[in-house]
Every structure is written in C-alpha cells, then in structure tokens.
Amino acid sequence: MTAPDKPVLLTGASGNLGRMLARELGAQGWVLRLTDIALFPDPLPPGAVFVQSDLDDGLALVRQAEGVGTILHFGGVSVERPFEEVLGPNLRGLYHVYEAARREAARVVFASSNHSIGFHERPQGNQPKLDADCHFRPDGYYGLSKAYGELMGRLYWDKHGVENVNLRIGSCFPKPLDNRALSTWLSYADLARLVARCTLAERVGHAVIWGCSRNPQSFWGHDHRDRIGWQPEDTAEDCRAAVEGIRADPVTERYQGGGFTAMEYSRATPAPRDHFSLE
C-alpha cells in the first residue's frame, strides 16, 4: 500500500491501538509524527518522531500538526471515567485537534466508539441492524464525549470543509473476549487497513464507519465504507467456540454498549426503545 504524500500525526500513540498503528503504518513507509501524554514505550518506527504532550496544550498540538495531511486522533481517555476526567482530553483536546486540522486543511480520522450509541438495544431475531445515521444513545461520559466528537466533525465539515471519518470502534483486541465480541470485535489488522484507507481515500467528506470485522452476528448495518474502499477481512466466528458461553448481567446483555451500560445503572426498568416515549 502506498504511503501518503504528507506526514501523518497520530495522537494517543502510546496506547494499545496507537502503538499498533505506529508499528503497522511505519512498516509501510509512512512518515509519522507521534504524540501522547505518556512516553512512547516501543522503538520508534523508521522516520517517526515522538513528542510528549497533553491534548489540553493547543499550541503544542498546532505545532505538531504543521504540514500534515491527516490527523489520526486516537488520544484521550479511552474508558468510562468521571466527567471531570473526561472533560479535558476528550472535549477540549478534540477542539484543539480540529482547530489544528482547520489551520492545515488536514483530514481527521477520529477514533469514535460504539459507546456513543451504547444504549440502543441489541437486535433480536429479524429486527433491523443499526445504521450509521441512528440517534446517539451514549452509555456513559466516555460515550458522550465520542458523540460530541462526531458532532464536532459535522460542524467543522459544514462550516470549514474539514474532512473527517468517524470510526465507531467496537471491541478492538487481539482476539474476541466474550459473547458480545462475536458482534463487535475488530481485529488489529482490520483496524490498520481501515485507518490506511481513511487516510489514502481521495475524498471522504463527513463519514461514519462501523469499526468491526466481518462478523455475521454484527449489530450494525449501513455506513460510509464505500467512500474509502474498505471491507474487513477477519471474523470473530473463528473464536466462537471459545467465547460464546461468556456472558454477563442482564443489563450488559440487553444493550449494544455491553458492560459500560451497567456501570452505575440505577433504573428499576429498562428505558424505552423510543427516545422520547413514556412507555
């Protein structure tokens, strides 16, 4: 696969997904600028540079983005945390990313999450799968920050013409971990190929793509993957025998967001499927 003409900035480079992407894209000859609040724990890919910085530091991010063609935004809090912990990196930090992209006329590839829609119920029987234009139903402050991120991408596309692809990542681990992952699992290899196509595609506009592998049991339907020419190649079905019996509590099993939905859950009965219904 060819490398992009301009350098690529990767935030969150020291996290599990960032490290994998740095390794895979660096091996393809990409010129990478890596940044994270934590030190990069691996040997740097050939031609890559790493700058330790906080997403709250807008000036540092603008400087790191000078001359780049794409910002791969994988930085920020990546699990459910109290609102005050999510606020800085996931809201203000995202604003700094989009301001840098606007200044450089760069594309943003945003690591969104299935937790932005986590309180949609899992489809049963012949019920339709969830399409990319569904309502947001975040399952916590982390998911709320991802919905905010997708809406900021919409704003910057409409107002400034900043192209962005929002990857609603499911469960991205080396292998599926439980029964839910038969629907949500995204392999590392499929994610690397997805990010590469998001970067190299000629034009994307404002797009949303479900980040899951070729799983027949997937919760998710139509998205914008045709714009970038990507189709997943791996499947969670290869691990079905090992994980299909691993289940959790009823709240976790009811909703697409899994365990995040059950954290501090206090309803006596489930919320209605219709957002505004009383029944």
d(CA 147, CA 83): 14
Looking at 95, 98, 141, 142, which residue is catalytic?
142
Contacts of residue 184, Cβ cutoff 8 Å, sequence gap at least 6: 114, 170, 171, 212, 215, 218, 219, 256, 258
| DSSP at 115 | G
- Token reading at 180: 């839910």
Among candidate residues 154, 35, 52, 39, the one with its CA nearest the CA of residue 98:
154
Contacts of residue 182, Cβ cutoff 8 Å, sequence gap at least 6: 176, 215, 217, 236, 237, 239, 240, 243, 244
Number of H-type helices and E-type strands within the chain: 10, 9
44 HSE (CA, 13 A, CB side): 13
- Do 72 and 101 meet the contact criterion of CB atoms below 8 Å apart? no
d(CA 78, CA 145): 10
Q: How many residues does the chain have?
A: 279
- Token reading at 178: 């439980």
Q: Is 142 assigned a catalytic role?
A: yes
Measure the CA angle with vertex 132, ends 130 and 137; round to 5°. 70
Positions marked catalytic: 142
